């Protein structure tokens, strides 16, 4: 299965907020530059994430987005469903292919609900905190790793 580009970008952006945000709002432009995602496209994704209460926005100078909940409380399933809608609807083919006679005979339409359930459990079991922990284990550099502190 291949996720849509919006889902991929949404996961990258949420990971960026969890890994680099450190509780301060981050501008969409900054996330877009770090993750190589077009800003206008990312703004649309953040609107969906905001409506799903996964991020909070702050307007004005020093504004941007931050996570609405701790990284341990946001699963990959939350992100996927904020962007694509409920998994059972996004993974299950339309009603005409769920069963019954088709050109190839009877189709096992029940299969898709089971697949959606399995994927949903796997996505729900993986949180942003898990991704951040794995990134740290793999020594993924943080955005502020190059910042220098000057003491006079």
Q: Is the pLDDT of residue 96 over 50?
A: no
The pLDDT confidence band at residue 103, using thresholds 50, 70 and 90, is low
If we measure between CA atoms, which residue out of 78, 53, 91, 94 comes closest to residue 128?
78
Judged against a pLDDT cut of 60, whether residue 43 lies above it is answered with yes
Q: What is the pTM of this model?
A: 0.83
Mean pLDDT of 81-100: 69
The ranges assigned to domains in the chain are 5-144
CATH class of the domain defined by 5-144 = mainly alpha
> What is the Cα–Cα distance from 100 to 32, expressed in whole angstroms?
46
Most confidently modeled range among 73-82, 83-92, 112-121: 73-82
Summarize the confidence of residues 12-26 as an average pLDDT.
Answer: 92
Q: Please name which of 27, 16, 5 lies closest in space to residue 80, comparing C-alpha atoms.
A: 5
User: Which residues 6+ apart lie within 8 Å of 39 measured at CB?
Assistant: 28, 29, 32
Asked if residue 27 lies in contact with residue 64, where contact means CB atoms within 8 angstroms, the answer is: yes
**Mean pLDDT computed over 11-38:** 94
Give burial (CB, 10 Å; 0-12/13-18/19+) of 3: middle
Q: What is the pLDDT of residue 95?
A: 47
Helix or strand or coil: residue 88? Answer: helix
What pLDDT digit, counting tens, does each position of 132-147 carry? 999 999 999 998 755 4
Average pLDDT over the chain, rounded to an integer = 86
The first and second tokens of residue 140, run together, are 């993924």
Please, which pLDDT band fits residue 121 given cuts at 50, 70 and 90? very high
- Residue 93 carries which DSSP code? P
In this prediction, residue 100 carries a pLDDT of 47
CA R_g for the chain: 19
């Amino acid at each position: 299965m291949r996720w849509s580009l919006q889902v991929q970008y949404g996961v990258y952006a949420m990971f960026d907020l969890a890994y680099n945000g450190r509780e301060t709002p981050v501008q969409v432009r900054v996330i877009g530059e770090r993750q190589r995602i077009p800003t206008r496209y990312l703004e649309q994704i953040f609107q969906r994430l905001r409506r799903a209460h996964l991020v909070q926005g702050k307007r004005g100078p020093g504004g941007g987005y931050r996570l609405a909940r701790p990284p341990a409380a946001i699963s990959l399933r939350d992100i996927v469903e904020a962007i694509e809608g409920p998994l059972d609807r996004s993974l299950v083919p339309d009603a005409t292919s769920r069963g019954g006679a088709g050109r190839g005979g009877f189709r096992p339409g029940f299969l898709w609900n089971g697949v959606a359930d399995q994927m949903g459990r796997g996505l729900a079991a993986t949180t942003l905190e898990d991704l951040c922990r794995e990134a740290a284990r793999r020594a993924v550099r943080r955005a502020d790793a190059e910042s220098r502190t000057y003491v006079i």
